[in-house]
Amino acid sequence: MTNDLTGRRALVTGGGTGIGRATAIALAQAGADVALTYRSNDGTPVAEEIQAMGRKSVALALNAIDQGEVDSVLAAATEALGGPIDLLVNNAGGLVGRQKLAEMTDEHWFAVVDVNLTSTFRVTRAVLQQMPDGGSIVTIGSQAAENGGGPGAVAYAASKSALEGFTRGLAKELGPRNINVNVIAPGFIGGTPFHATFTPEAGQQAAVAGTPLGRAGQPDDIANAVAYLVSPGGSFVTGIVMDINGGNWFR
């Protein structure tokens, strides 16, 4: 099977809900053992669901901005899974809030950059110190990096755009080690805390109405793409941004 992940060990940040939860489940269904981190949404039920499949799994609370926590959680994850992480999914992130640039505080700017970009840097750096050759890294970006996002999302769009440059540079750096590195840029994905918190119902309906496929995306739409990119079938794909948006935006 080209998507067989048997014997692989994955770490999914922000794995307690939404896209992260769906991704952790998809990787386990493909055969991987999965550690997942969470902050606001307890990931324990997800780990228990994965364990019920016969896979190793652990859910660990993590503030991914804190390097000390990243290092200790990574050590716990490798112990629980029985070896080093070879599949990393950087999913943790968020909008934090909507602020126009003219009124934006320094605190808001750095909070958004930290939760999306700095966290990815710190987790990836730590994992790469143990990841064996032939591993894989996928980061969850956003369509906002391509179209600027909605109202008050300048900081968010900027931080997600930075993830694309981070990924392209890292893909070149890690190519000699046969580690592929990619970004997925989701469009409107329903059933996630992100839109439940930050996007009014009218905005959600407008997003669906503007999507050629005529529906909201679902977390599984992203999770299945992640499972492909980290699988043997996706091993020659690196340095790309994969847009998954139902035709709402074309590169």
> What CATH number belongs to 9-244?
3.40.50.720
| Contacts (Cβ under 8 Å, ≥6 apart) of 191 | 18, 216, 218, 219
User: Residue 17 and residue 45: Cα distance in Å, rounded?
Assistant: 10
Question: Choosing from 70, 119, 143, 156, which is the catalytic residue?
Answer: 156
Position 203 scores a pLDDT of: 75
Digit-coded pLDDT (tens) for 186-201: 999 987 776 666 667 7
Domain ranges of the chain: 9-244
Cα separation, 228 vs 127, in Å, equals: 20
Is the overall model pTM greater than 0.75, yes or no? yes
d(CA 155, CA 96): 10
Q: Classify 189 as helix, strand or coil.
A: strand
The pLDDT, as a whole number, for residue 206 is 83
What residues of the chain score a pLDDT lower than 50?
Answer: none
For 40, counting Cβ atoms within 10 Å of its Cβ (0-12 exposed, 13-18 middle, 19+ buried), the class is exposed
Distance CA 75, CA 145 (A): 32
Q: What is the pLDDT of residue 1?
A: 52
* pLDDT of res. 204: 80
Q: What is the pLDDT of residue 209?
A: 85
How far is residue 125's CA from residue 102's CA, in Å, rounded to a whole number? Answer: 34
Contacts of 171 (CB under 8 A, 6+ apart): 180, 181, 182, 238, 239
Q: What is the pLDDT of residues 2-53, one digit of tens each?
A: 789 999 999 999 999 999 999 999 999 999 999 999 998 999 999 999 999 9
- The pLDDT of residue 198: 64
C-alpha 56: how far from its chain's center?
20
What does 202-225 look like in DSSP terms, one character per residue? Answer: HHHHHHHHT-TT-S-B-HHHHHHH
Has 38 been annotated as catalytic? no
Tokens of 39: 């902050």
Strand ranges inside the chain, DSSP E: 9-12, 33-38, 57-61, 87-90, 136-140, 180-186, 241-244
Secondary structure letter of residue 103 according to DSSP: G
